[in-house]
Amino acid sequence: MKTIAAELAYFLRGRARQNLKVLMLYCAFLVAMVLVYAVLFRSLMWNLEGREFSLIAGIYWAITVMTTLGFGDITFHSDLGYIFAAVVTVSGVIFLLIILPFGLISLFLAPWIEHRLRNRLVTELPRETTGHVVIFGVDAVIRAFISKLQARGIPFVLVTSDHDEALRLADEGLRVICGSPTTASVLSAIRVSAARYVVANLSDPENAAICLAVRSQCQTPIAVFVDEPEHSGMMHQAGANKIIALHKILGRYLAIRSTTCGALAHVLDSFGDLLIAEIPVHGTPFSGKTLENAAIRQRTGLAVIGIWERGCFTVPTRDTQLNDKALLVLAGSRVQLENLEQLIGEHAEDDLVFILGHGRIGCAAARFLERKPVPFILVDRAENPLCSEHIPIYGDATIRHVLEDAGIDQARGLIVTTNDDSTNIFLTLASRQLLPHIRLVARANCEETVEQLYRAGADFVVSNASVGAGILLNILEAKASAFLTEGVSVFRRPLPESLVGQTIVDSRLRPRTGCSIVALEPIDGDILVSPPPDSRLENGITLILIGTPAQEELFDTAISGH
Ligand code: ADP
Ligand code: ZN
């Protein structure tokens, strides 16, 4: 009852009220028209055919003819009568059957449906909402992030000032508030002061404004994506707690995996003194050997804690074959990585990496290689207005002779990083065909492309969305974990009580959770990387583990009992 009253009230307000007046006038016009026809009908019948009809009969005739019902019980039998009846029928079709429904739809139905759609959006979160994540700006990274939030049951709200986008998101069943992100009323409506985290993912100026607006209300932590790494200081000043220069990170991830030169250049993350690095097997003396014969541990002290092969992560055994396509995940100290560098014996200057696409990510990869210094050649079909340092070879990389003329046959590594996934797939396919042994790293702008890029021949694929989402999740969960790539991370946990005194093999950690111990960190003393299976787990040590998010969770629930 209440809803019907609310719907009726809609027609009595604002523009709907104006439209209602127009409709009334039109109806009055139609009534007048029927009356005029009825009077004319009577007079024509009397004058032409000598028949007399009442006014009611005239109205009845006019309505049946105008609505094209035409029962045929009252008809003219003269030419002038026929002409009059035809005029009444045509005017009925126009005014009653065309203009009236059209007017009803455009003046009432359409605005009413739009009003309903608008009202479908919630205008504020319930008062008791707490612990939610507030997200400004939705893109592929945020989409990957919100699916992780959904999987963990963490509540979130999206904020957009674009009404159409808000409706689309609401249609997907997502909680969305439409409004300008910096207005105090919107920030109160999304209960920003009770939120767990704010994620600002708009342009740099908009993100800075969001930080200031949020800080004027509360101290909720803010994570911000920056397009320009130079803006980081400014964002801090505006109140951001975590700043993510995603393009720079992605560029670094691509660059690290494209060169074998300088093992220290491959460090992905660190836990104090323990460094985690990734290095392609191709071009190293380990190529074609088993892990045991490669004797990496004996020769460098480094532990091989994982192997990537075409996007698949495995924990290697002694018999694992190290083939050219594989990428080693290593853990160890700086000195041990230097040992590896010497062992590989390749100097950074000997390498050559081609970077196809000089956008923000390609440029960040180039800057990273530049510092090592690994020689590189950029290819792009257009100028990058944000970069005045690098001079790429101009041309469409999909045209074979452009790459051939640029000397791609000299390249040892290749980074495919245009902003178009189908171009990236094409470039991966074409380059793999041209250079079967090149270390080929590709970027996936969209999650669905990852698999296709591997199938096209990429040795490693860096997905913008999953890297961004993984970083955000680590920030949100305040995890001391190193994010390797989608699906695997290195994380730290205090030794659970249930395992105190056991050996690693007795603890059956790997069969129970799938996680592997990378290192043991005593309270004082040196970190023990890749501890032997008979190492005893002493009270007070910290475990550094590697595993997928599911395995990590299993560790927390099954072993730590959280
Ligand atoms: P991002 O900043 O995310 O790296 P951009 O859109 O800025 O993305 O950069 C992509 C770059 O790839 C652009 O500079 C564009 O000119 C380049 N690019 C796209 N297609 C081709 C192609 N077929 N050949 C060469 N360069 C390309
Ligand atoms: Zn550049």
What is the distance in A from the centroid of ligand 2 to the CA of 139?
24
DSSP class of 498: G
* CB distance 248 to ligand 1 below 6 Å: no
Label residue 264 by pLDDT band (50, 70, 90). low
Give how far Cα 254 sits from Cα of 280, 427, 495, 556, Å.
Answer: 12, 15, 34, 32
Cα dihedral: 425, 430, 434, 435 (round 10): -10
DSSP class of 557: I
Percent with pLDDT over 70 in the chain = 93
CA pair distance 146, 154, nearest whole angstrom = 9
What is the distance in A from the centroid of ligand 2 to the CA of 457?
26
Would you say residue 41 has pLDDT above 90?
yes
What is the distance in A from the centroid of ligand 1 to the CA of 258?
18
Cα dihedral: 262, 268, 271, 273 (round 10): 10
- One-letter identity of residue 43: S
Percent with pLDDT over 90 in the chain = 44
Cis previous bond, 511, omega within 30: no
R_g over Cα of the chain = 36
- pTM over the 0.85 mark: no
Residue nearest to atom 9 of ligand 1 (CA): 359
Mean pLDDT of 79-96: 93
Q: What number of H helices and E strands is found in the chain?
A: 23, 22
Q: Give the ligand at the shortest distance from the Cα of 425.
A: 1
Are 509 and 538 spatial neighbours (Cβ–Cβ below 8 Å)? no
Q: Which of 179-193, 259-273, 421-435 has the lowest average pLDDT?
A: 259-273
CA pair distance 383, 397, nearest whole angstrom = 14
* CB distance 362 to ligand 1 below 6 Å: yes
* CB distance 419 to ligand 1 below 6 Å: yes
* CB distance 383 to ligand 1 below 6 Å: no
Residue nearest to atom 5 of ligand 1 (CA): 359
* CB distance 398 to ligand 1 below 6 Å: yes
Give how far Cα 3 sits from Cα of 10, 37, 358, Å.
Answer: 11, 41, 57
Mean pLDDT of 25-54: 94
Are 315 and 514 spatial neighbours (Cβ–Cβ below 8 Å)? no
Tokens read off for 377: 């050649």
* CB distance 251 to ligand 1 below 6 Å: no
Q: Give the ligand at the shortest distance from the Cα of 364.
A: 2
Cα dihedral: 120, 121, 124, 129 (round 10): 90
* CB distance 139 to ligand 1 below 6 Å: no
Would you say residue 315 has pLDDT above 90?
no
Mean pLDDT of 237-250: 92
510 CB-near residues (< 8 Å, 6+ apart): 315, 516
Mean pLDDT of 31-39: 95
What is the distance in A from the centroid of ligand 2 to the CA of 364?
7
Tokens read off for 256: 């690290």
CA pair distance 472, 467, nearest whole angstrom = 9
Helix ranges restricted to H, 305-374 = 334-344, 360-371
Summarize pLDDT for 88-119 with one digit per residue, the tens: 999 999 998 999 999 888 888 888 887 777 66
What is the distance in A from the centroid of ligand 2 to the CA of 387?
5
CA pair distance 151, 505, nearest whole angstrom = 32
Label residue 486 by pLDDT band (50, 70, 90). low
Q: Where is pLDDT greater, at 249 or 222?
A: 222
Are 446 and 470 spatial neighbours (Cβ–Cβ below 8 Å)? no
What is the distance in A from the centroid of ligand 2 to the CA of 345?
29
Helix (H) / strand (E) containing 18: helix 14-49
DSSP class of 496: P
In degrees, to the nearest 5, what angle opens at C-alpha 256 toward C-alphas 254 and 262? 155
- What are the φ and ψ backbone dihedral angles of 53, each rounded to 5 degrees? -125, 150
Cα dihedral: 305, 311, 317, 320 (round 10): -130
CA pair distance 83, 65, nearest whole angstrom = 13
Spacing of C-alpha 203 from chain mean position: 15
- What are the φ and ψ backbone dihedral angles of 559, each rounded to 5 degrees? -100, -50
Mean pLDDT of 242-248: 92
- One-letter identity of residue 307: I
The confidence score (pLDDT) of residue 1 equals 52
Beta strand extents in 454-527 (DSSP E only): 460-463, 481-485, 488-494, 516-521
CA pair distance 415, 252, nearest whole angstrom = 11
The confidence score (pLDDT) of residue 17 equals 81
Tokens read off for 295: 């004797």
The confidence score (pLDDT) of residue 340 equals 85
Spacing of C-alpha 238 from chain mean position: 25
CA pair distance 502, 508, nearest whole angstrom = 10
Helix ranges restricted to H, 345-482 = 360-371, 400-406, 421-434, 449-456, 464-476
Altogether, the residues listed in the chain come to a count of: 562
432 CB-near residues (< 8 Å, 6+ apart): 438, 440, 456, 457, 458
**pLDDT averaged over every residue in the chain:** 87
* CB distance 380 to ligand 1 below 6 Å: yes
Summarize pLDDT for 459-469 with one digit per residue, the tens: 889 999 988 98
Mean pLDDT of 32-47: 94
Q: Give, for ligand 1, the residue of 246, 378, 380 to mutate: max count of ligand atoms closer than 8 Å to Cβ.
A: 380
- What are the φ and ψ backbone dihedral angles of 440, each rounded to 5 degrees? -115, 115
